[in-house]
Amino acid sequence: MASDITEIREFYENCYSHHANGVEGIFGRWRELGALTKSDHICQLLELIPAPREVLEVGCGDGAVLAELARRGIGETRTGIDISSTAIRLAASRPGVTEARLFDGVRIDARDRSYDLVVCTHVLEHVSAPLDLLTEITRVGRAIVIEVPLERNLSARRASARALSQNVGHLQRFDRASVRRMIAAAGWRVQSELLDPLPLAVHTFGADTPRALTKGYAKWAARSALAAVRPIGERLMTLHYAALATPV
């Protein structure tokens, strides 16, 4: 496990060092766009519980999500933890981030039920033991929001899709049932969930020609239509799945 964590840490140090060196360009804009979508999902799911005061984000990266939650008035304190020291320096510099600190990828340095809300978006697919991390997340939180891409589908089996997933560090391929089983195995239950084919801005990101823009519009329209029929959409393509869970 230690070697796995070391390799993962090195991978993400390299990812965020581009940002730190001022070469973020398209990658920085992509993370900012992702933070908007993730925050939309979090806010939608939080309608079912009291407004959280202490918020923790596990795998906070450069702090884009925490900063966006701050702009939306979510939380009185917002703490981020990550295995990348470069990411932590970036997160600590953002307005709205109360604290950012390193963690070892295994143990969260906090007492049981320390946080009203723990957020973990697009992290579990990057770790070798997702249930172990999820169990630790549930230990320190009173409620959690997790989000993952559902990559057990026909489209994700393509060689090009598998290569892209590996290049961005995905170690796990989930479907909705497997995520729900993990939550249940941690002794929690799903209170609310959503599936998102992702907004138009995501599908047209980086489109710099009329042809590319048209292709993005077409992809967004087709995915939105398929996602409306949930069993079919989940079987055919990768959707983003977000869930709010609380203790049983």
Question: Exposure of 47 by Cβ count < 10 A (0-12 exposed, 13-18 middle, 19+ buried)?
Answer: exposed
Tens digit of each residue's pLDDT (9 = 90 or more) over 136-174: 999 999 999 999 999 999 999 999 999 988 888 899 999
- ∠ CA 193-195-160, rounded to 5°: 140
Task: Give the domain 2-150+169-197+239-247 fold.
Answer: Rossmann fold (3.40.50)
Give the separation between CA 42 and CA 105, rounded to whole angstroms.
Answer: 22
Which residues pair with residue 102 across a beta bridge? 82
Tens digit of each residue's pLDDT (9 = 90 or more) over 70-96: 999 999 999 999 999 999 999 999 999
Tens digit of each residue's pLDDT (9 = 90 or more) over 183-234: 999 999 999 999 999 999 999 998 999 999 999 999 999 999 989 998 899 9
Find out whether 103 and 91 touch, Cβ atoms under 8 Å: no
Domain boundaries, the chain: 2-150+169-197+239-247
pTM of the model: 0.91
CB contact set of 204 (below 8 Å; sequence gap of 6+): 212, 213, 216, 217, 220
pLDDT exceeds 50 at position 180 = yes
